[in-house]
Structure 1
Amino acid sequence: MTQFTDRFVHANGLKFHYLDWGNPEKPPLVLLHGVGQTCHTWDLFSAAMSPYFHVMAFDQRGHGDTDWATDKDYSRKTMVKDADAFTDALGLKRFFLTGMSMGGANSLSFTSNHSHKVEALVVVDVGPRVEKEGVKHIRDFMSNYREFNDLDEAAAIIHKFNPRRPLEVIRKYTCVYNLKQLPSGKWSWKYDTYFSEGHRSVDMKQMHDELAAEVQKIKCPTLLVKGGESDVLSLDGVKEFQQLIPGADFSLVPKAGHSVMGDNPAGFEAAVRAFYQKKGYLTA
């Protein structure tokens, strides 16, 4: 796998951690992970894209090795400001943007409000319409499993939640990059406990209406990727997305749930690569 470099940059009052995958002479590609994840969520995709792009994946506020917000402001509006400040701090005038779940919603809002910065957008398994039960499934997992006795226990529990990934992959990568050891010796997630304590109650209709109003302003080439087995983004959600962004491309990746790029890395890469080739950003 192509080697990355861990870097830090100050933006919007916080210190952000990000992975720089090299090739700075290539077009920049910025990646935004989902809730409870880290920048390492994108490692396989980043390695695959690094020959063609200058890939930068950053930990969003309250996640990974980025600072937590002392005021507990994890609103989409503030996270969009983070992305704007982060890309400004790196001197990125125009770039490719990809986001998954929470990061996908943030990417949609960012693109709507900063269209001059985004060359093309890839959104992974999210849209203005998401399914309540699918979202609840994820939140229940985050709330019910906050600490683990050891990494083997953590891997077993994560594998039960998402059996699409091999247990050894979860143990070697997911646990290593997404967990931290506590003074007690137990292990916990590398994100602000605010996300797992039920404080982020969301009015689904309000979220839908606000994001839909932003999404319909997007004009750049856009690809929506759905996991074939996802319970978060439905085909009705896809239909609405394409009505809001006429001409948006769509790809359904089989053998994948909500976290498409981790469940079926090859399928996800193929979908994005085909989109970039179709739009003339990559040659076959």
Structure 2
Amino acid sequence: MDSSDLTPLPEESAEEQPQQPSRPVSAFASKPDRPPTQSSSEKYSPLDWMGYFDKEDDICILDSNDVFHVYMAGTEGPVVFCLHGGGYSGLSFALAANKIKEKARVVALDLRGHGKSCTENDLDLSIETMCNDVLAVIKSLYGDNLPAIVLVGHSMGGSIAVHVAAKRQLSSLAGLVVVDVVEGTAMASLIHMQKILTSRMQHFSSIEKAIEWNVKGGSLRNVDSARVSIPSTLNYDDSKKCFVYRARLEETEQYWKGWYEGLSEKFLSSPVPKLLLLAGTDRLDRALTIGQMQGKFQMIVVRHTGHAIQEDVPDEFANLIINFISRNRIGPHGVEIPGLKSSWSKPSKNQE
């Protein structure tokens, strides 16, 4: 959830560019003489997750009817465990995962009430429940043979990552990356959140229209990322004969304060190496400003993006994650990962 400009889409132009007549192009030609003009439906057509992740899986949680959906990529290195923001899905990390998997493993979870996950209570988005969900999925995936894990969380997912780290129940936790969420600004924005949720477009005649709106009037700026991630955030409503949002965030307001209250202190007190990625310096609150000056965590401001940094600039985001892993020598045995840059800085004492 974020407070991006949720302006309605302009009406489609009555005159669309005509399709260029097709003509045979040699299979060995590097490119056609002139690319065909794309129609609106082609430009915003869905892209399959299989072009970015290696596989998907359903994780059944013992002694419950909860089933969590995960997307996985990569075969070696530490596990970059990704937690999406409210209203997004695990596919929010698809384009970035395609690059991260060259150097590390990636697991992207559909959180409770989101994506393809299905739980006994999809509206229980309390921070305690969601933290337990994450720990249960990790336990189901790896048992007692835990790999080195870097928790990466965007927005609401960032608060979950911080709270999971604060529980000190993940013995192999090796790093914490929080993406564009800060306690001070998040708490201040909560009073506007219902208005933001209700003012966005609620019904879409097609998935293509939903993708188009999210790029033109919603929070995403990268068309290709939206083509992968947006379809998983929708359900088809048979009664309304249209697509609607899968996550019913407007019904979970009672939990919002718990996501962010005390977040800065929990983040600063986590003993593992930490990285905070922000879309703007105005998001930094006082506690984090002091902590950053004291060198308690690494902070990077990623320019020219919206709230969903991992979607808007996936290659840059992936490089930041890979460099964080290398810099802090996070690996299966605490050694540098082959192929990553050899120069690294040992974490300061207050990061250890």
**Are residues 1:11 and 2:61 paired?**
yes
**Contact 1:253–1:271 (CA<8 Å) still a contact in 2?**
no
Which of structures 1 and 2 has the larger relative contact order (alpha carbons within 8 angstroms, sep 6+)? 2
Question: 2:277 corresponds to which letter in structure 1?
Answer: V
Superposed displacement of residue 2, structure 1 = 4.3
Q: Which residue of 2 aligns with 1:226?
A: 278
Matched, 1:273 2:329: no
Instruction: Quote the residue 1:157 is aligned against.
Output: 213
TM-score, normalisation: structure 2: 0.69
SS of 1:175's equivalent? helix
Query: SS in structure 2 opposite 1:116?
Result: coil
Alignment check: 8 A CA contact 1:111 1:117 kept: no
Please give the per-residue CA displacement for 1:103-154, whole angstroms capped at 9, x wherever unaligned.
Answer: 1000001011125231111110113322456556665343333322223432
Identical residues among aligned pairs (%): 21
Residues 1-284 of structure 1: pairs in structure 2 closer than 5 A: 1-11=51-61, 13=64, 14-23=66-75, 25-70=76-121, 72-91=123-142, 93=146, 94-114=148-168, 116-131=171-186, 134=189, 139-144=194-199, 145-162=201-218, 165-167=221-223, 170=226, 172-184=227-239, 185-191=241-247, 193=248, 195-197=249-251, 199-201=252-254, 204=257, 208-228=260-280, 233-234=283-284, 236=286, 238-239=288-289, 242=292, 246-281=295-330, 282=337, 283-284=340-341
Structure in which a larger fraction of residues adopt helix: 1
Question: Unaligned 5+ residue runs, structure 1?
Answer: none
Whichever residue aligns with residue 126 of structure 1, its letter is V
Q: For 1:56 and 1:100, locate their aligned partners in 2 and report how far apart those are by CA, in whole Å.
A: 14
One-letter amino acid of the counterpart of residue 215, structure 1:
F
Q: Give the paired residue count.
A: 275
Amino acid at match of 1:142: L
- State the Cα distance separating 1:214 from its structure 2 match: 2.8
1:24-66, Cα deviation, whole Å (9 max, x unpaired):
x432221111100111000011111112222111101110010
**Distance change in 2, residues 1:130/1:178 (3 Å):** same
Match of 1:106, SS? helix
Structure 2 residue identity aligned to 1:85:
A
Q: Pairwise CA RMSD of aligned residues?
A: 2.8
Worse-superposed segment, 86-95 or 249-258: 86-95
Secondary structure (helix, strand or coil) at the match of 1:223 reads strand
Q: TM-score, normalised by structure 1?
A: 0.84
2:185 is paired with a residue whose SS is: coil
Segments of 4+ moved more than 6 angstroms: none
The structure with the greater share of residues assigned to strand is 1
